[in-house]
Amino acid sequence: MAKYLLLKHYRGAPAAVNDVPMDRWTPAEIDAHMTYMDDFAKRLEESGEYVDGQALKPEGAWVRSDGDGRPPVTDGPFAETKDLIAGWMIIDVDAWERAVELAGELSAAPGAGGKPIHEWLEVRPLFPAPPTVDD
């Protein structure tokens, strides 16, 4: 089994077919989208392919170390909205082809007007866990 990260972007990916921003959806459209996402995750939990996933809020900050004994720096440069990630899901599947198949299915979550978004999702393999040393 190999783990893959499915990334949902606010902006920056090629335009979705149903490219209406979520902040312009009705509450019912948002509920339908979230239900689809939850049902998708539950189905993958049952098949043993789901690892974890979360939706992310758009706000945040860049943080870096400014050296020993100094507080972290938390101001600019800031990410542009197009670079923000809307959410992610980690799956554990047998092959790249299965990861692509699931990403395609997730891409069809409903959006504005109840129509599938057909959004682009970024699929990235995770490095395997480093080997552990047994005593």
Per-residue pLDDT tens digits for 10-32: 666 778 888 888 889 999 999 99
Domain ranges in the chain are 2-59+79-125
The pTM assigned to this predicted structure is 0.79
Residues near 101 by beta carbon (within 8 Å), at least 6 away in sequence: none
The CA distance from 121 to 118, in Å, is 9
Closest by Cα among 129, 40, 35 to 91? 40
pLDDT in tens, 86-114: 889 999 999 999 999 999 999 999 999 99
Residue 25 has what pLDDT?
A: 92
One-letter amino acid at 134 equals: D
| CATH no. of 2-59+79-125 | 3.30.70.1060
What is the C-alpha separation between 128 and 133, in angstroms, rounded? 15
C-alpha to C-alpha distance for 123 and 109, rounded to whole angstroms: 16
Type of residue numbered 126: L
Q: How far is CA 50 from CA 13, 67, 78, 101, in A?
A: 24, 39, 32, 14
